[in-house]
Amino acid sequence: MNRNEFLAELHVEVEKIVLEQGYIVSRENERNEYVYVIESGFCSFCRDNHISGFLSEDDMIGIFDGEKSTMTIQTLTTVTALRFKKTGAIKQMINTPQKSYYFYSRLQRYQQQFVDKSIILTLSANERLTKCLKLIADTYGKPLDGGIMLPKAFTIDIIANYVEIRSEHMHYLYKKMIQTGRIKNHNGQLLIIIDN
């Protein structure tokens, strides 16, 4: 079941919206009355001002009914999303096997990001950065000239926050990785060099 089929079967009024970069879609410890399905763009989800993971195409925001948000979700780029009222929709999302599979596959993806980050945080700063870049490249990157290009949304500061490395140390590690040829700055975007 794809996103459009899923939404059509919910029988809810869906509105297409555009959210500017930096827009806070959902705040930690506050209730949200809408569910958002991302069509394009990137968001981060944070707890206590630390990025726990990222959301992109087909990911859903606000899917827990009646509960306060456990995360702050903010757009990293301009985001196009489909939005509908949460009231009654959550129950509909899980009332058939196909809809519940789509719904739970999204939840499983979020959970995997928490697990991946927990593992990364046990490593040294250099190893954390290397693993983080590989994880982001594998998930969101596009092959280009012997490497993988990260989307512009993944700036040095965003990556530093995700990996929980101080900004000064992150810039030092970044310069070392450029000097050793492990990454390149390609018109303001990071190009991760693939080892042969």
**99-105 contacts at long range (C-beta below 8 A, 24 or more positions apart):** 99/1, 99/6, 99/9, 99/10, 101/1, 102/1, 102/6, 103/60, 103/63
Number of CB atoms found within 10 A of residue 41's CB: 20
**Mean pLDDT score, 55-78:** 85
What string of DSSP letters covers 122-133? TS-HHHHHHHHH
**Edge-to-edge strands, sheet with 142-144:** 142-144, 147-149, 189-193, 183-186
pLDDT band at 63 (very low <50, low <70, confident <90, very high): confident
Q: What is the pLDDT of residue 57?
A: 92
Q: Decide: 70 and 38 in contact? Cβ < 8 Å.
A: no
Average pLDDT over residues 60-84: 86
pLDDT value at residue 109: 77
Beta bridge partners of 72: 46
pLDDT averaged over every residue in the chain: 86
Helix H or strand E segment including 19: strand 15-19
Q: What is the 3-state secondary structure (H, E, C) of 53-118?
A: EEECCCCEECCCCCCCCCCEEEECCCEEEEEEECCCHHHHHCCCHHHHHHHHHHHHHHHHHHHHHH
Section 111-123 average pLDDT: 86
Q: Beta strand pairing status for 50-55 and 79-85?
A: unpaired
What's residue 8's pLDDT?
Answer: 77
Phi-psi region of 11 (alpha: psi -120 to 50; beta: other; left: phi over 0): left
Lowest average pLDDT, out of 23-27, 63-67, 104-108, goes to 63-67
Asked if residues 132 and 182 have their Cβ atoms less than 8 Å apart, the reply is no
Whose tokens are 């948000």? That residue is 69
pLDDT at residue 196 in the model: 45
Per the CB < 8 A criterion, the answer to whether 72 and 27 are in contact is yes
Has residue 85 got a pLDDT over 60? yes
Tokens for 179, please give them. Answer: 């000097």
d(CA 24, CA 19): 9
